[in-house]
């Protein structure tokens, strides 16, 4: 087992508290006011509304990002990122061979229903 695995937590005290849902990116543009290249993304979560997220998914071309299904954590507090505020955390993992913090999306493998819950 790897040495850097975090301690075991209960489902009810961790994962069960998160509201992670499927959203579709309906608008995306490069955000120039952040200190590193970042996308401003408007994500539609269906009956849960549209939320703005800022993330370093810039290894993906804008035309590949728009209309993409993503997973977002809806019940985190908004996060100040320099001069902008991100309303939802879009889940990602390190982009292969990229600088730390540059991400690729965690997405459903099929055309899942907008607003559906991760379980």
Report whether 82 contacts 32 (CB < 8 A).
Answer: no
- The answer to whether 25 touches 70, Cβ cutoff 8 Å, is yes
In a domain, 11, yes or no: no
Q: Is 87 inside a domain boundary?
A: yes
For residue 117, tell me if it sits in a domain.
no
pLDDT > 70 in the chain, percent: 98
- What residues make up the domain containing 28? 18-105
**Cα 11 to Cα 8, 15, 18, 32, 115, distances in angstroms:** 9, 5, 10, 39, 22
Segments of the chain with pLDDT less than 50 = none
* Residue 49 domain-assigned (yes or no): yes
Q: Is residue 73 part of a domain?
A: yes
The pLDDT value recorded for residue 70 is 98
Residue 115 located in a structural domain: no
Q: Is residue 44 domain-resident?
A: yes
User: pTM of the entire structure?
Assistant: 0.91
Q: What is the pLDDT of residue 90?
A: 98
CA angle in degrees (0–180, nearest 5) for 76-79-82: 170
- pLDDT value for 2: 58
Tell whether 12 is covered by a domain. Answer: no
What pLDDT is stored for residue 104 in this prediction? Answer: 97
Number of domains the chain contains: 1
């Amino acid at each position: 087992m790897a040495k850097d695995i975090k301690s075991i937590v209960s489902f009810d005290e961790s994962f069960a508290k998160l509201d992670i849902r499927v959203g579709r990116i309906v608008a995306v543009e490069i955000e120039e006011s952040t200190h590193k290249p970042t996308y401003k993304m408007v994500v539609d979560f269906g009956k849960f509304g549209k939320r703005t997220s800022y993330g370093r998914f810039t290894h993906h071309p804008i035309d590949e990002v728009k209309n993409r299904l993503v997973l977002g954590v809806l019940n985190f507090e908004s996060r100040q990122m320099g001069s902008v505020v991100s309303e939802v955390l879009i889940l990602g993992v390190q982009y292969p061979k990229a600088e730390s913090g540059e991400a690729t999306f965690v997405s459903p493998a099929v055309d899942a229903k907008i607003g559906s819950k991760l379980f």
